[in-house]
């Protein structure tokens, strides 16, 4: 409730009248701000779905660079509430800094309006620069990437880039149809890693989007059918056979003990 206390301190003492009713000054910062906050939290997924027409299932976190608008709005909102939290202790800050509390309130009133806009715009530009450029991290951004982020979104390419051949070495994403659904897996033969997606996709586009989200920047290739499973090694085969043998012997011993217990020491009952 610290940000609620900060909103009460920063909001000016306005008491407007609506007809014959007087609206008290704490109503807007105490009720309206809190109500709008939680309403926005619940409504944001539905509003974003209406704007993007994306009705796919999302079980993995999206990268911030892939959604610059969401990134900018989120950073601006966090900055807004961070200023409110700090403003909740204006009396303590004024005492420590030895400045008038009313002057400090004026500074916070300016910051709560200006700082979220600046941080949100900066986050939006950085996310767009990361998405358009070749930088893997924030520290790898160049002036050219930042300049490109201020321009318009380039039009989508008319043709898809050439996909790798099926016998090409290196890591890649393999997609294949399985009945009415699509499945995919990540494969890196050099490292001996094969990871299969645990959820089927209704279309090829959904499978590509899921694979791209999990492994961005990895080439993908469509295979005609389910790729053959890797043959088990000798150690794995020996362990599996040994486990089956131990389980069989354990069941046989348990059955013999149960039969002997039913007969008793003097023969069958």
Query: For the chain, what is the mean pLDDT?
Result: 82
DSSP-derived secondary structure letter, 193: E
Kindly tell me if the per-residue pLDDT of 70 is higher than 80: yes
Quote the pLDDT of residue 161.
Answer: 45
Quote the pLDDT of residue 108.
Answer: 94
* SS3 sequence of 213-238: HHCCCCCEEECCCCCCCCCCCHHHHH
Q: Could you read off the pLDDT of 7-16 as tens digits, one per residue?
A: 999 998 888 8
User: Which string of b and e fits 37-56 if b means at least 16 CB within 10 Å?
Assistant: eeeeeeeeeeeeeeeeeeee
Q: State the pLDDT confidence band at 159, using cuts at 50, 70 and 90.
A: very low
Kindly tell me if the per-residue pLDDT of 151 is higher than 70: no
Q: Could you read off the pLDDT of 214-234 as tens digits, one per residue?
A: 787 788 788 776 655 666 667
Q: State the pLDDT confidence band at 52, using cuts at 50, 70 and 90.
A: confident
Q: State the pLDDT confidence band at 103, using cuts at 50, 70 and 90.
A: very high
pTM score > 0.85 for this model? no
Q: How far apart are CA 127 and CA 39, in angstroms?
A: 26
Here the contacts of 198-203 (C-beta below 8 Å, separation 24 or greater) are 199/57, 199/59
- Mean pLDDT of all residues in 241-250: 87
């Amino acid at each position: 409730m610290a940000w609620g206390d900060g909103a009460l301190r920063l909001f000016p003492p306005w008491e407007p009248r609506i007809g014959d009713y007087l609206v008290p000054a704490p109503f807007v910062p105490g009720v309206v701000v809190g109500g709008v906050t939680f309403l926005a939290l619940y409504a944001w997924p539905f509003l974003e779905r209406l704007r993007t027409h994306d009705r796919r299932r999302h079980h993995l976190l999206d990268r911030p660079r892939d959604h610059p608008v969401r990134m900018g709005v989120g950073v601006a909102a966090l900055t807004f509430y961070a200023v409110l939290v700090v403003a909740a202790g204006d009396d303590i800050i004024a005492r420590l800094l030895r400045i008038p509390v009313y002057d400090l309130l004026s500074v916070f009133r300016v910051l709560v309006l200006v700082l979220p806009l600046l941080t949100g715009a900066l986050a939006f530009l950085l996310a767009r620069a990361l998405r358009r450029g070749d930088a893997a991290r924030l520290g790898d951004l160049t002036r050219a990437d930042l300049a490109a982020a201020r321009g318009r979104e380039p039009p989508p390419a008319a043709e898809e880039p050439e996909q790798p051949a099926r016998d090409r070495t290196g890591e890649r994403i393999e997609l294949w149809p399985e009945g009415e659904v699509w499945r995919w897996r990540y494969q890196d033969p050099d490292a001996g890693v094969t990871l299969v997606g645990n959820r089927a996709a209704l279309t090829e586009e959904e499978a590509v989007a899921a694979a791209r989200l999990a492994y961005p920047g990895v080439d993908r290739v469509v295979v005609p059918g389910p790729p053959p499973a890797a043959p088990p090694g000798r150690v794995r085969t020996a362990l599996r056979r040994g486990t089956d043998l131990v389980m069989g012997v354990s069941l046989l011993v348990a059955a013999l003990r149960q039969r002997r217990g039913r007969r008793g020491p003097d023969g069958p009952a």
